[in-house]
Amino acid sequence: MHWYEKLNQYFPQEEMKSKEHMEALLKERSDIYHKDEGKYHVLMYAEFEKFIFVDYVFVSKDARGQGLGHKLLEKLKQKAKPIILEVEPVDYDDSDTEKRLKFYKREGFEHAKNIGYKRRSLATNKINEMEILYWAPGDESEELIFESMQKTYELIHTYNDEKFYGASYQPVDEVLEISEDKQKDMLENI
């Protein structure tokens, strides 16, 4: 099965980029956007100078519980940069969301408690709320995580969005927010 089909079967429609969008990122942003694919996994990620953004991680049901997800994340952790990813909020009617969160917690990821992420899906026109998780080897701040998510949104998520979807996603300041207390701290440190 093609790597895109694996992802498309696993991830909700409102979270998926189009195949054309992802192929363009792999080709036109090959300096930052990467695919790690094997028989039982697909890992899509963007590596920037100061952080890594995990766009999609898929591990086949046939390989779950065998440490493959751990190995994929360890490979990224070796780069000694903060790792950021988005996950669906826990839905107790969907046990996968809870398992996913527990997995990332075991891997040392923290919840970015002060960062909000809400985006209208161009595929479904519904508001899609996501949680931001991060692994910070140097105890990096949520301010850095917020700035990194803004960069990811602008360079990866909305890359040529009109071309691929016939419409534009919302501007970054409508999608990502940081709590007022954090904004005050950020302004005081400038």
Please give the model's pTM, rounded to 2 decimal places: 0.90
Give the CATH number, domain containing residue 128. Answer: 3.40.630.30
CA geometry: angle at 29 spanning 132 and 31, to 5°? 95
Residues ≥6 apart with Cβ < 8 Å to 149: 53, 84, 115, 117, 132, 176
Task: Give the pLDDT band of residue 187 (cuts 50, 70, 90).
Answer: very low
Amino acid at 2: H
The residue range of the domain holding 126 is 3-188
Q: CB burial class (10 A; 0-12, 13-18, 19+) of residue 75? A: exposed
Number of domains in the chain: 1
Average pLDDT over residues 11-35: 95
- 188 vs 35, higher pLDDT: 35
- 179 vs 181, higher pLDDT: 179
The fraction of the chain above a pLDDT of 70, given in percent, is 91
Residue 181: per-residue pLDDT: 58
Residue 104: per-residue pLDDT: 94
Question: Which of 68-77, 92-101, 148-157 is the least confident region?
Answer: 92-101
Average pLDDT over residues 25-37: 97
Phi, psi of 40 (to 5 degrees): -115, 10
Task: Give the pLDDT band of residue 189 (cuts 50, 70, 90).
Answer: very low
